[in-house]
Structure 1
Amino acid sequence: MYSISAAGVPYVLEPPSSGRPDAPLVVAWHLMDAPRTERAFAAALPLAGLDAWKLYPGLPLSGERFPGEEVFLAEMVAEPVLNGHGRINEEAVAELPGLLDEVRAAHGIADGPVAVVGGSAGAGVAGGVVVGKVLRARAAVLISPLLQLRPVVDLLARQFGMDYTWTPESEAVADRMDLVWRAPEFGATAVRCIVGGDDDLDAFLYPAGRLRDMLREQGVRADLRVVNDMGHALAEEPGLEPASPTDAAREVDAMTVEFLAQELELA
């Protein structure tokens, strides 16, 4: 396993067990909740048994690029959409092509089938990469997914006892990140959503169900799996360093591998 950086992005790379340069490539972005770094996410969701290149990029404003708790919280409180979720999502999508070019060249990764995976905010990035046509992904697994920003902001406002006033600028960000509304832009990419049974219904479970239904109406393979006794996170706090996967994370990993193996023709 490699843990370095390219194009200014820290990442973890796990080579395929077969050693094939043309093995499928899976790009997987972590949560802003635990596990909240690329190294912690690679440990929590190792995609065990999947013979593929596994690339775990670090999100902007996370891990090595975290600006410090005081600065981060001040910016998030001041403007959680433009300074927080919107910025993280936009920058992560934009920096992927440069990252992939450098990683492929450095490690001899040949062109082959590609899939994307993401947790929470990372799922929003994975979906954004697909609908933005940054990658031609055969499959996407979206875990505890941030599919619609507005109900997530409502949830955060309730949790922190604050009001959020939407502006034309933040409304535009919410429209861009609305993967349910943008369902037709997924094209032929197969999608599996995985949501914890204890997660928030309005912010996470209901949008996942709506995305599944809309994709199915378009003739795209899509499903939704609910993991009992799991909340939003995939690891114990603080979720910064690699740790043994929780029981729920192991279940999510198995569901992810099963779906990707079939879509990447590794089953």
Structure 2
Amino acid sequence: MPTPITGTAAGVPFTALPPDGGGPAPLIVTWHMLDAPRSDAAFAAAVPMTGVPAWRVHLGMPLCGARMVDGSMAAGLELMRKDVLMSFLYPIVRQATEEFPAALASIRAQLPVGDGPIGVLGGSLGGAVALEVLAEHDVAVFAGAVVNAAIRLRTVVDLFPDDYPYDAESEKAADSLDFVAKADAIAGRAPLLVVSGELDHPGFRADAARLVEAVGERSELLPIPGLAHPLADEPGIEPAPQLPAAREVDAVLTAWYRRHLAVAD
């Protein structure tokens, strides 16, 4: 893996991996999981995509990595216990999405990535951010991909014990991050690869199939045998050796972005 470049972009920590030679090249922006790998540096190590002739800039999610409170996940876990949807999941996705335009402008000022179309990639809850960028932002995108993605926020909430006490506000929040419902908006934006581990949560796998069906011909569903939800071993905060399952995901992402960069050129 090339030597990572670390920094901040409009207050958002990032780990950037340069293309061969480190010169001007297109840009792929990623958002990591909240499961392992749960930091920008760890996600960069899990899916470095070294064969893609592009800058891969991995953004840190709120409350994770360099943005953990007092260096631990304890504050995030307390918010999860308080209200998993309205204090934890929804605010994280909203903040990551809202800070993206300024972060992108800062990345473009710091790195030789130009102002052309970008790639977007998200894993798990980071997948919700990538899909929201596709559905709601007007930045030009040459290709998108998600891995074991949080495609419907209600499905994520259903993973937690006890029935969630939805009210009008939380119903609206959950519905705003239902990307099967936003499939028409996504379909017109860019080709989309949906990577789904065959050992991922059943609800996530069902949502992946529904999203691809709803988006239509510009999307592809790629099941990965033997892949559970995480892409790295715990604790998943620091960079770690690439697991075999992550290596397979890395290979399919590399092929996907190389293919669509060639078309973009």
The TM-score, its normalising length taken from structure 2, stands at 0.93
1:115 and 1:181 mapped to 2: Cα distance?
22
Q: Which amino acid aligns with 2:105?
A: D
Structure 1 residues 153 and 18, CA gap change in structure 2 (3 angstroms): same
| Contact 2:19–2:50, Cα closer than 8 Å, also in 1 | no
Find the counterpart in structure 1 of residue 52 from structure 2: 50
Find the counterpart in structure 2 of residue 28 from structure 1: 30
Matches within 5 A, 1:100-179: 100-157=104-161, 162-179=162-179
Q: Report the secondary structure of 1:155's partner residue.
A: coil
Is 1:256 aligned with 2:253? yes
1:256 and 1:69 mapped to 2: Cα distance?
29
| Contact 2:116–2:140, Cα closer than 8 Å, also in 1 | no
5+ residue gaps, structure 1, are: none
Q: Which amino acid aligns with 1:2?
A: I
The TM-score, its normalising length taken from structure 1, stands at 0.92
2:175 and 2:117 mapped to 1: Cα distance?
29
Say which of 12, 15, 29 aligns to 1:12. 15
How far did residue 29 of structure 1 move? 0.7
Q: Report the secondary structure of 2:45's partner residue.
A: helix
Find the counterpart in structure 1 of residue 212 from structure 2: 212
Structure 1 residues 37 and 134, CA gap change in structure 2 (3 angstroms): farther
Find the counterpart in structure 1 of residue 39 from structure 2: 37
1:136 and 1:176 mapped to 2: Cα distance?
22
Is 1:238 aligned with 2:235? yes
Q: Which amino acid aligns with 2:235?
A: P
Find the counterpart in structure 2 of residue 185 from structure 1: 185
Q: Report the secondary structure of 2:220's partner residue.
A: strand
Say which of 93, 96, 113 aligns to 2:97. 93
| Contact 1:193–1:224, Cα closer than 8 Å, also in 2 | yes
Q: Percent of pairs identical after alignment?
A: 37
1:109 and 1:137 mapped to 2: Cα distance?
14
